[in-house]
A and B are shown apart, each in its own frame.
Chain A
Amino acid sequence: MSSADTNLMIRSLAREAGMKPGGSVVSFHTALLLGAVLSFASAVMLVFAAFGIPDPATIMGNAAFHHKISSMLAVACGGVFLVRYAGRPGARGLALLTVLPGLALLIAGAISDTSGFPFLGRSEIAVPSCVAAIVALSLLPLVITIFVLKRGVTTRPAVAGATAGVLAGALGAAAYSLVCKNNGGLFVAVWYPTAVLIVVGLGAIIGRRALVW
């Protein structure tokens, strides 16, 4: 293989100048927003199917629920920016700061927690069941988000998969908060993020293989 071959190849590539990208009807950004909405909807449906539809009046009157779902949706919003950052080559890392508001809400919830709920939950299986439920609810969102990322251009496959995990995990946790009975601020601040981190790890492992091109 010589540099003359390369020059020939460059010439043939140059002939494609001005051609529109084929096949992509929906842009990466649109796909990302649609994917996030679809992910959340799928997780909520799954929660209703698995745990039954909760009484709206009860959960709306519960301050702990508001804290849980708002902090997790805030993390998910940051996750959207993270995924957008991972799918655009050369984007600046400022997007990494967008998960901070959600984390701040979680920490504030833990510090201001006066409910006296135990850190390990109300029953012995509270921690494993809560973490497992969030991870399970996040799997479909994770797959959707990885597919969304394939519309973008990922130059760090594992990192990109991890950002998909942040978004999917946070959406799964937000959906789970509709039926979660453990209302301690500290419980939420420790075990919800633990579940999200597991999804982040899964995302990194999947991304390493699925997001190469």
Chain B
Amino acid sequence: MDPREELWAAAMRAERRGDAAAYEGLLADIAKTLRALIRGRLARFGMNVDETEDILQEVLIGLHTVRHSWDASRPFLPWLHAIVRYKLSDAVRRRRREARYRYDLTLEEWSYVPAATPEDPDLGLVDLNRHLAELSTGQREVVRALALEGASVRETAQKLKTSEGAVRVTLHRALQRLASIAHLAASRRSKEKT
């Protein structure tokens, strides 16, 4: 038999005689056991482990409130199990329900959802070509070779009959230019919105 049965049942009887120290020891013991159990379950169900102490306190308060319902002539552990099981599932159920409300999309929020930017890959390509058009011919050739065709710096240098260093410098300038274009476009979009 579980050694805790005798130990904890004795502490429960001591509580009824008004022995606060024994009762505190019992609650602390139970808390230690439950803390590990609750933490494990929360982690397993993908819930917030930080809620462990909250839930633990709910269980302990529940236990304390109904402690008189334990019949001292009957085993303690089955009683404890029933209470803990109920309080735990109650706590988890309530948190699940709250989480559902938190994640729920209200009609009000829905009406403020901004219009989606086009995600069509073909449109993306059109955009890309338009931006590339802003580059100089040399820059465009380097970006096309390196970024779009996936060639190495050496291959690009050989193809364009220039040095590897020159290709790197050109790429760097081209990327700066593209970044500034993208930045401009973004700020123009946000201005249009306001």
A residues within 8 Å of B by Cβ?
Answer: 1-3, 5-7, 9-11, 13-18, 20-21, 28, 88-92, 152-153, 155-156, 212-213
Contacts and interface: CB of A to CB of B under 8 A. Distances in A.
Interface stretch (B70-78, B163-171, B173-181): B70-78
Interface string B139-181: 0000000000000000000000000000000000000000000
B52 to A, nearest CB: 8
A15 B20 contact: yes
Interface stretch (B53-61, B118-126, B130-138, B185-193): B53-61
B68 interface: yes
A6 B57 contact: yes
Given A6-B56, A88-B71, A156-B86, A14 B21 contact: yes
| B interface, over-half SS | helix
Contacts, number: 90
A155 B87 CA distance: 8
B44 interface: no
7 contacts: A11-B24, A13-B27, A20-B68, A88-B69, A90-B83, A153-B83, A213-B66
Contacts of A13: 23-24, 27, 60-61, 64
A17 B15 contact: yes
Interface size on B, as a range, is: 35 or more
Nearest to A154: B86
A17 B18 contact: yes
A155 to B, nearest CB: 4
A6 B51 CA distance: 12
A21 B68 contact: yes
Contacts of A9: 57, 60-61
A156 B79 CA distance: 13
